[in-house]
Structure 1
Amino acid sequence: MSTTTLSPTPRTRITRGKNRAVTDRERLHAFLGDALVAHLGVSVGSGEEAHPIVLPTAYGFDLDGPDEGGSLYLHGSVAAGWLGRALERDVCVTITELDGLVAARSGFHHSMNYRSALVVGRARAVEDADERERALALVVDQMIPGRWETLRPATRKELAATAVIALPLVEASMKERAEGPIDDPEDVGSGAWAGVIPIHRVAGDPVTAEDSHAEAPEDVVRRAAALAGRSPR
């Protein structure tokens, strides 16, 4: 499969709203660097008990990882019921950032400005010790860049209690909307207001924990707070 363009398979090819499809894989990579939360969709249970669940989770990614197209890393407790199922069949991961509320002159044309990616594939358990530690570092640094290096090393107990899975980034698609309302011509003169309410991520100043022995946060924490509140690219 090609790793230079998006939607390489029928499962991720965009069929509706093609004008909003992103075809440059580098823009997906940039978006993954901007976002913070992923949602993992997996089927759990069996027989009549089978049902889908969607779990919000932190993530990390490595474009030079061992999986085709790079590796998307997710983590969780080894005791989590979804873990085994996530390894038995293909899963879907979505990542979305909301950039604006679009108010049109009719309810039908109200919309949102957004960036959203979808990744489908078969996840694998990350067993190699070095890769597991790197994956966990990437997850932490996705939230607060550079934070991992300021922390004590993970203990054997912590590593044993944490499961890490990797999903190939090759089978992916991305859509984005970044425009104003699109009204029917006959509605434009209706007199109702139309426009966009921008939505930006806002991060406040770091709040020190009551039992913290450090009087002020490290520089990496301050930088992360500033980056978390930036406007969308």
Structure 2
Amino acid sequence: MTPPDGSGAAFSPTPRSQVRRRPQRAAYDEATVFGILDAGIMAHVGYVIDGQPFVTPTAYWREGRKLYWHGAAASRMLNTVGDGAPVCVTVSFLDGFVVGRSGITHSLNYRSVMAFGRARLTNDLTVKRAAMDAFIDRLYAGRPVKLRPTTDEELTRIALVEMEIEEASAKVKDTGVTELAADDGWAAWFGVFPVETRIGAALPDPRAGCAPTADLSPYAEGRRLDEALAAAAYGLPVST
């Protein structure tokens, strides 16, 4: 996978994906949408079964304008949505606590994407094998060739879902405190507490018998998780 090329390609919003609240924070271009998606690994999939809404957290990956996720073949969610059901996939990051001098000026800094499409389930073992290798390779470049090959029987226990992104919108807030005239003169501290998730020290299995290899290099101790995931997706070096 390569980073979005900045060519200006964009999704065309309709009423279901148009950002109405604070539209100045919205973006529909591929570079912004894909940049947020590729910095994440956990998504929430929204769907409806027999009139009841559900939201399921799941690991995902992206190839072009397609999103993939997988789970157990017996999963009710995957088997229900996998026949072309409309779904909404959301990915979000908390980037900061914005602390004001009045309650109404407290807020959060964040990045988020909502992607809409129809999910499709595949039972083709060749497609499943290629997709699962792509998932591992997206996180750990070059690792699939080092692993024991997945058997056909193991693949039958996996349900794989593909969703073409029909529409998507990103929304980003990265601001300081919005001050109101009535706040002036109050002695309370105000500002921003940045929030990051970073990689911890590796915990090798006692049976490993070797050091981490190059395919695991994005996950060095102390690196930001979102930056590590983006670098893994694009095959780029990661700064600490």
| In the alignment, structure 1 residue 199 sits paired with structure 2 residue 195 | yes
**Amino acid in structure 1 at the alignment position of 2:40:** A
SS in 2 for 1:58: strand
1:19 maps to what in 2?
A: 24
Match of 1:220 among 198, 215, 218: 215
For residues 173-223 of structure 1, give each alpha carbon's deviation from its aligned partner in whole angstroms, at most 9, with x where no partner exists.
1101111121222213312111111111210122101332x3211122132
* Equivalent position SS for 1:152: coil
Q: Where do 4+ consecutive residues of structure 1 move more than 6 Å?
A: none
Residue pair 1:59, 1:142 contacting (<8 A) in 2 also:
no
1:127-166 map, 5 Å: 127-166=123-162
1:117 and 1:141 map into 2 onto residues whose CA distance is 23
Matches within 5 A, 1:29-108: 29-44=34-49, 46=50, 50-63=51-64, 70-88=65-83, 89-108=85-104
* Deviations 1:84-116 (CA, angstroms, capped at 9, x unpaired): 221352111100111111111222221111110
1:91-149 per-residue CA deviation (whole Å, 9 max, x = no partner) reads 11100111111111222221111110001121111344443223223333444444333
2:152 maps to a residue whose letter is R
* TM, length-normalised to structure 2: 0.82
Specify the code of the residue in structure 2 equivalent to 1:91. V
Shift of 1:24: 2.0
Q: CA RMSD in A?
A: 2.3
Question: Matched residue of 1:223: which SS?
Answer: helix
Shift in alpha-carbon separation, 1:136–1:226, aligned structure 2, 3 A: farther
2:184 equivalent in structure 1: 188
Where structure 2 has 5 or more consecutive residues not aligned to the other structure, the ranges are 1-7, 231-240
SS of 2:185's equivalent?
helix
1:169-180 alignment, distance < 5 Å: 169-180=165-176
* Structure 1: runs of 5+ lacking an equivalent: 64-69
* Partner SS state of residue 123, structure 1: strand
Farther-moved stretch of structure 1 (126-135 vs 91-100): 126-135
Look up the match of 2:33: 28
Identify which range, 157-166 or 85-94, moves more after superposition.
85-94
Q: Figure out how many residues of one structure are paired with residues of the other and give that number.
A: 220
Does the CA contact (< 8 Å) of 2:40 and 2:226 recur in 1?
no
